[in-house]
Structure 1
Amino acid sequence: MVRYAEPGAVEWVESGGGPLIAVPETVLTFWAGADGDETASDYDRACEVDGCVGLLPVGDAAALVLGDEPASTSYLPDHDTFVRWCAADSEDELLAVVPTALAAAVWEDEVSWTVPGPVVLFDAAWPGDDAVNTDHLKVSLTPGRYAVRAADVRPGPETWLGLVQLRRLPD
């Protein structure tokens, strides 16, 4: 995990250039990443996701692909939102505009994501078995269905961030 500020500040996950993926912890071993003998690897499937978010089957669950930008990403539980650092002079500047960005966002269409519990965010190229040994972030989610929506927001001339917000749906 990358830390841009004092200890205890937000932790960021980075990719080697491809998409990040949030895989339910219970099915991590089923994610092969760029490895595998198949014609199209799991990583290839993640790269084919068009837009900011998409879902891919993994085991008996689904993983959330954060596509479009290979930006440093963190999860802010107070906002139930993955924040993607596309451009900002500092972490403080970026985090300070999150509430304004959430209020001003023009959201893409929602997808419905069912999770069995916590998920692990990491570079989609890595196999799930190796995810905890690489740059990753564990996100504690309550089991159930979530509406997932995404937006790119430019709250300032040199500040740009991606938002992927989760909203718990009734069972």
Structure 2
Amino acid sequence: MESGGGPLVVVPADVLTRWEGADSEGPESDYDRACAVAGYAGLLAVGPSHALVLGDEPSSTAFLPEHEVFVRWVAAESEAELLGSVEAALADAAWEDGQVWDVPGPVVLFDSAWPGSEVEPDNHARVDLAAGRYEVRTALAQPNAETAFQLVRMVRLR
């Protein structure tokens, strides 16, 4: 998933239409709130739920369901090189403890400037997370001098 320049956001599908993006009424739009998130990830209220903001840089992002991790491209010679480094990086990462996110079910990844009611097939990705509580952990991986990527891992809490 790509961004037009701002952060990407992961919104629960059941509150997707409540995300107003840059079109919000009032003094601060949802996009403004997303841009104010410091660090690699943060949570913002959306109706009765929360959205996960993937902050720091507007990096190309993919979700790898087998590891329940968002991978955010910082630098790499190729996509294959980056993705080939993920498994080792997951084992070696210096994880930062994160926030607890109550996920009601599937979520949608898209550019935070878009209103959730206007997501289209080519500007979002559906992520089938199981409902539950997750700790969101983040890390920066640098497996070699030419490759770096951010990891935002969803750790299911029991």
So what's the TM-score if we normalise by structure 1? 0.90
1:88 aligns with 2:76: yes
1:130 to partner: Cα distance: 1.1
SS of the equivalent of 1:132 reads coil
The runs of 5 or more residues in structure 2 that have no matched partner are none
Matching residue's letter, 1:168: R
- The aligned counterpart of 2:145 is 157
1:133 to partner: Cα distance: 4.5
1:61 aligns with 2:80: no
SS of the equivalent of 2:20 reads coil
- The aligned counterpart of 1:106 is 94
1:47 to partner: Cα distance: 0.5
Residue by residue over 1:17-73, the C-alpha shift from the partner in whole angstroms, topping out at 9 and shown as x without a partner, is 110000000000100000022110000000000100100000111000000011000
> Percent identity over the alignment?
58
Which stretches of structure 1, 4 residues or more, deviate above 3 A after TM superposition?
Answer: none
1:36 aligns with 2:24: yes
Once structures 1 and 2 are overlaid, which stretch shifts more, 160-169 or 98-107?
A: 98-107
So what's the TM-score if we normalise by structure 2? 0.97
The runs of 5 or more residues in structure 1 that have no matched partner are 1-12
Distance 2:47 2:56 in 1: 24
